[in-house]
Amino acid sequence: MLETLRNIGIIAHVDAGKTTTTERILYFGGSKHKAGDVDDGNTTTDFDPLEKAKGITINSAAVTLDWDGKQITLIDTPGHVDFTAEVERSLRVLDGAVGVFCAVGGVEVQSETVWHQANRHRVPRIAFINKLDRMGADFFACLEQMKEKLQIIPAVCALPAGQSSEFTGVIDLVRMKFWQQDPKDPGHFKYQWVEIPEAHRELAKEWREHLLEAASHADDELLELVLEGQDVPEEMLRRALRAGTLSGKLTPVLTGSAKEYHGVRLLMDAVNQYLPAPSDRPPVEGFVPSRAKEKERTERKPDPKEPFSGLAFKTVSEKHGDLIFVRIYSGEVRPGDTFLNATLKRTERVSHIYRLMGDRRERLEVAGPGEIVAMVGLKLTSTGHTLCAQDQPIALDEIRFPEPVIAQSLIPAKNTDETKLADALGKMVRDDPTLRARTDAETNQLILSGMGELHLEVAIHKLQRDHGVQVTAGRPMVAYRQRLAGPIEFETRYIKQSGGRGKYAVIYMRYEPLSKERIEELAAEREEEGEKPEPNNLYFLDKIFGGSVPTEYVPSVEQGFRLGCVKGAKYGFPCVDILATLLDGKAHDVDSSADTFKLAAIESFRDAQLKAGLQLLEPIMNVMVHAPGNYLGDLTRDVSRRRGEILNTSLDRGRCQLHAYVPLAELFGYTSELRNFTSGTAAFTMEPSHYAAVKEELADLREAS
């Protein structure tokens, strides 16, 4: 059973053709009688009304189909950077992925981002270069960009027969045959394998040699045949391609036009042949919850006889019970089973289990290892929680999400039920880990934070549509950060006596801002010790010698330091990139306590900020603008006006590309302004890059008021 399962994701930049490719896969797989179209708003995975209206994928959606004896669970992920959390949590539980690239746009910003996300999760991939029928399509230019930007060894398994208006079909370089579709068949099912057209024969022979060269990286026997000039059997070549894909040594590259039904079936054959089954992946690792401090690791193999374990990676709030998406790693689960939520140390009972087809569901009586299912009945479980057998618990690593970079105030309508609003926001934040909702203690404003303007727009739309809560959005605000302007050492004496037991804590601390290089060093040290890097790069070191501060009080000092970093002394923004070192101190046998040392550390760090000074940091976005070449000068001047740093510009076939770092504060409303001065001919993408120092007079500090 395990060998017949495939869990794959479709990942790419927005508008590369992910959803259309998914539709054609479902159509050819027999799951749909008619393929949907993004423009018509009738696709299976983009079923949300807002997705249909905007023509983009906002939520990752799972579908299941059978293909040549394999059960394939496919997750269509968003291509817009604002919804990168959907990609992150999907890649965390998938065994393989298909990267879709536009033959016209090449390797665009978000394509590069999601590819590196997949690298981080060690997910084997194949690539599909799409839209070969479009004007300006260039398969070979896209391939060169993939080698340069993604650092891959491409194993080109399919070649286009012509491009743009001359595109006629796909050449299979493994079979060395041309896939000829029957132009008279309106269903696009009829085809035949024929000899490669003479006009493309020499090119096919050349790229067949490149394919064999790439495959030889993964198979020594194949390498010997190539060196001896002998023919390579088709099965040996497929075996080498599979081995190279699973090991990450190479990436099979397919091509076609999903919209015109070309190359999709070859792509799915490649999914079956080259991407891993759950049994091909390493056993999932976690730690024993009762021995978390000792970091005792354990693992679960994808075996139905193993104790049950699964990871909840997505929640969807519904009126009749939340839907929890779970990847099962080991064991089996049935409706009515009770298991442990190892994250919360609470038991949960599942009432129903479903296999999903977009917004449709198929009820299951049992689900086993390798399957991705949706469960109903779980009351406490949310994204990143581990579900496991009660008698043999395991806690899997939680999913890490990026921090929000933009915030917006929400003004409820006069007749809004505050309890209903709070409940609605609670569900939305639970479903989307990159959303944050809070009430500012000083201004009493309700603040919603997210990954970008579109992210917040979608969240507010859902708040009004799905939960019936009417709010007005304020102007977006930037999520600034703070760090110390320089290093400082000093002593803090927290001594209070007012009758009875007093409070006594003396600590001598050193605080220093961290450079990028020092952050990388500290993160590497943590990884060597089996620990994760600290969030916001806040590190604490204990350098006490001789017990001047009792060991049991040191964690309280660290806790006080971290509490002080939540909201800086000068502005109400979090502090980042700081190393705090406890060098010395004193304690009293009677008057000292853990709470006293915590309060001393809070006071110490507040004084450190005031004495050393603070540096304000703003989020910088990685921006890529595509436009007709005649607008390059205007784009350059506009980016410079926005305090942007231009990294490079290029001109190719009448189109220009500008790559720059631009402060997020300068990009509000950029979409409409860009559309206006380029007459709607330009497009841009942006993603969070880093934080950089900003002068206070240039910052919008309304949150600090």
| Pairwise CA distance, residues 622 & 670, whole Å | 14
* Bridging pattern class, strands 177-181 and 191-194: antiparallel
pLDDT score, position 427: 87
Q: Is the pLDDT of residue 690 over 90?
A: no
Fold annotation for 486-612: Ribosomal Protein S5; domain 2 (3.30.230)
Q: Given a cut of 50, is residue 559 above it in pLDDT? A: yes
In eight-state DSSP terms, residue 232 is P
* CATH superfamily, domain at 406-477: Elongation Factor G (Translational Gtpase), domain 3 (3.30.70.870)
* Strand residues in 13-106 grouped as ranges (E): 61-67, 70-76, 96-102
Q: What is the DSSP letter of 431?
A: H
- Alpha-helical segments (H) within 375-476: 418-431, 453-467
Write down the number of H helices and E strands in the chain. Answer: 16, 35
CB 614 within 8 A of CB 601: no
Q: Spell out the SS3 assignment of 167-217.
A: CCEEEECCCCEEEEECCCCCCCCCEEEECCCHHHHHHHHHHHHHHHHHHCC
Beta bridge pairs of residue 575: 482
- Tokens, residue 319: 């009126």
The CATH classification number of 2-280 equals 3.40.50.300
Give the span between the Cα atoms of 181 and 85, in whole angstroms.
39
Q: Looking up tokens 């990139």, which residue turns up?
A: 577
pLDDT at 43: 59
Q: Domain 284-396 adopts which CATH fold?
A: Elongation Factor Tu (Ef-tu); domain 3 (2.40.30)
Of the candidate ranges 33-42, 227-236, 461-470, the one whose mean pLDDT is the lowest: 33-42
The CATH code of the domain at 617-704 is 3.30.70.240
Pairing of strands 503-513, 538-542: unpaired
Predicted pLDDT at 364: 92
Specify the 3-state DSSP secondary structure of 548.
coil
Which three-class secondary structure state does DSSP give residue 36? coil
Work out the pLDDT band at 140, boundaries 50, 70, 90.
very high
What percent of the chain lies above the pLDDT cut of 90? 44
What integer best gives the mean pLDDT of the chain?
Answer: 86
Q: What mean pLDDT is predicted for residues 229-248?
A: 92
Reported residue count of the chain is 705
- Domain ranges for the chain, please list them: 2-280, 284-396, 406-477, 486-612, 617-704
406-477: same fold as 284-396? no
pLDDT tens digits along 539-549:
999 998 878 89
